[in-house]
Amino acid sequence: MPGTDIAEAQRIVFGELPLLPHLAELPARGPGADMIGRSAGFLVELPVQLYAGRWQVAPRAGKDLRRTADLLERDLDQLTEQGDGFTGTVKLQSAGPWTLAASIDRPIGGRLLRDPGAVRDLTDSLAEGLRKHVDEVRKRLPGASLLLQIDEPSLPAVLAGRVPTESGLGAYKSVDGADAATALRTIVEAVGVPVVAHCCAPDVPLQVFKDARSVAVALDLSLLKDLDPLGEAIEAGIGLFAGAVPSTGQASSGDPSTAGKRTAERVSTLWKRLGFPAARLPQQVVITPACGLAGATEPYAREVLTACREAARRLAEA
């Protein structure tokens, strides 16, 4: 979400998304609130620090991790306060092991992705940390069901061998799809709640996400080129978090239901092209923004969430 006021962001989330609120993230607050720093804060016995503007494995926990933990604690306090008595489903999220491995530097240089052993250690550490995170939220919201979203925007580049080395003159060796799925499955099996795999990059690795036993995939519909793999995943029972509303734009002054109607029509048309019965759509699809809203204005972010809710209502009543 945009802005730096977690109380306001969490109020908007619960107000606009009463059926599936989430723990808001506010990257505009700086290091430790960004996707990589926040997610690295979940790592157990694998401390990180900022060095020359990048996250790097550290010999011990320091001020950067303390700031990260403090921001998360504030966010959880707001989730607890505004989710008091909530009995629906709440979504949590973290970057996945491959995106972290492609983004965090080793102490001696190069990304963790360079070292398969380091990637395994990171994956195990993240799995343990996310299990603890889920348990903490369970204690705070005892009546809620939890859903964990794993963000893997870097995974297509990891699989294709397109992650550049620090010199920019080469790229790290590609990772096999089976190995990628095994790491993700480690997370899925550890956390004890359903996991949604999210990737808003082109060439979403749907087979990897299926093999990792994700219950759903989240993607940007505007980047879809081939519908067949998506159709196969849906046929296999995978849920679809359909990124159907642009994540940035200008807030309109017109009827807020107009964007919801347009979004519903877009998703309905896609569903028909995939060849599935209309009655199955509201059972298997969640309407979402195309990606995160951190780059949007606050009025536009609120408008996007309203459009998603309105589109879902229209599709459920169709």
User: How much is the pLDDT for 257?
Assistant: 79
Sort residue 303 into left (φ over 0), alpha (ψ -120 to 50) or beta: alpha
Whether residue 252 sits in one domain with residue 174 = no
Whether residue 76 sits in one domain with residue 11 = yes
Q: Is residue 219 part of a domain?
A: no
Is 80 exceeded by the pLDDT of residue 256?
Answer: no
User: How much is the pLDDT for 84?
Assistant: 97
User: How much is the pLDDT for 14?
Assistant: 97
| Pairwise CA distance, residues 218 & 225, whole Å | 15
- Give the β-pairing of 216-220 and 195-198: parallel
Task: Please say whether the beta carbons of 216 and 288 come within 8 A.
Answer: no
Q: Is residue 293 part of a domain?
A: yes
Give the end of a domain, one of 214, 231, 264: 214
Q: Is residue 226 part of a domain?
A: no
User: How much is the pLDDT for 218?
Assistant: 98
Predicted confidence band of residue 243 (pLDDT cuts 50, 70, 90): very high
Calculate mean pLDDT across residues 80-96.
97
Whether residue 61 sits in one domain with residue 200 = yes
Is 90 exceeded by the pLDDT of residue 28?
Answer: yes
| Pairwise CA distance, residues 125 & 253, whole Å | 47
Question: How many domains is the chain partitioned into structurally?
Answer: 2
Domain span at residue 257? Answer: 244-318
For 137-181, what is each residue's pLDDT tens digit? 999 999 999 999 999 999 999 999 999 998 888 999 999 999 999
Q: Is residue 87 part of a domain?
A: yes
Whether residue 262 sits in one domain with residue 203 = no
Task: Please say whether the beta carbons of 102 and 152 come within 8 A.
Answer: no
For 266-301, what is each residue's pLDDT tens digit? 999 999 999 999 999 999 999 999 999 999 999 999
Calculate mean pLDDT across residues 206-214.
98
Q: Is residue 236 part of a domain?
A: no
Q: Is residue 229 part of a domain?
A: no
